[in-house]
Amino acid sequence: MCYAGAKIEKGKVITMTDINMYDVVILGSGPAGLTAALYTARANKKTLVLGGNRLGGQMAGIPTLENYPGWAGSGMELAEFMKKQCETFGAEVKFVSAKSIDGDAAGGFSVLGDDGVRYVGKTVIIATGASPRKLDIEGARELMGRGVSYCATCDGFFYSYKDVIVMGGGNSALNDALYLADLAKSVKIIYRKGAFTRAEAVLRERVAQRENIECLFNTDLVKIAAIPDSPDGRLVVTTTDGTEIETDGLFVAIGHEANTDYLTEDIKRDAMGRLAPSELPTGIFVAGDVHSDIKMQIATAVGTGCTAGMDAIAYLNKI
């Protein structure tokens, strides 16, 4: 693909010295993005991974992987291994987040990074994953980082020998509760439904066996507040029936939303912000948790990363 002279983007003339050009620009350094990078780099396509603010995405926060075939270490260890593997074949990994994507297949896609640099790719693979859904009740935003957390593996250590609450009922919530049960004095799981029907049976069994985990079903929260003059910064949460429960920390695990806010409104997304491959412009591909039609697992992320990488290779070989 040839670029002559300069490219006009939103009224700004971008000279060739401003542009870093690649065959493939991959957004995201989770299992999907790194798998796609492995495939495109091995095919001798000049590959750049814009990995966001940390390697591995959500996978990096998993202490022990039990359901990814062939790997028994942590998620971060797997991410580091995958990064080195794709770099062996020439892929370049930068910890930069995308702020916008402009352009088209005819002239190249310009990705503006949060480092102020524009990266141009003949193709783009979107693998920016998902982030925990924020709790939208009184006090949740104000107390984020001051008793309210969305990452048990990040913040659990600070609640050793204390009382904590986990809000949610899926695999993430139960995994968080089990992790915290090894650190905290007590763990209460608050779930709005009558049973953990969305969680795997093995996790339900482990939760039931832990003496310091208590489950409060058919319960939801309406308010979180700091207890005035509490020397330990304790909180009080209020349930829908008016019950008040004191705790040292609240860990929220109520689902995820795709990281696609940087995309323009003309890119169609579902209610969770995810992308359907058939709705994307020519030359843009999608992989991982941002994909509209997959289960949110490392194995499926790797599979869609492989597919997106191979599709990008086939596309590049035709132009």
Provide the annotated active-site residues. 151, 154-155
**CA distances from residue 199 to 38, 73, 168, 172 in whole angstroms, order as listed:** 32, 22, 10, 8
**Which among 44, 4, 38, 7 is positioned nearest to 22, based on CA atoms?**
44
**CA distances from residue 88 to 92, 93, 127 in whole angstroms, order as listed:** 10, 11, 21
d(CA 256, CA 118): 29
DSSP-assigned letter for residue 243: -
* Cβ 24 vs Cβ 46: under 8 Å: yes
Q: Which amino acid is at 226?
A: A
Q: Is 306 helix (H, G, I), strand (E, B) or coil?
A: helix
Residue 252 phi, psi dihedral angles, 5° rounding: -105, 125
Helices within the chain (DSSP H only): 31-42, 75-88, 152-155, 171-181, 201-209, 298-318
CB atoms closer than 10 angstroms to residue 84: 11
d(CA 178, CA 43): 42
Cβ burial of 313 (10 Å; 0-12, 13-18, 19+) is: buried
* Cβ 316 vs Cβ 24: under 8 Å: yes
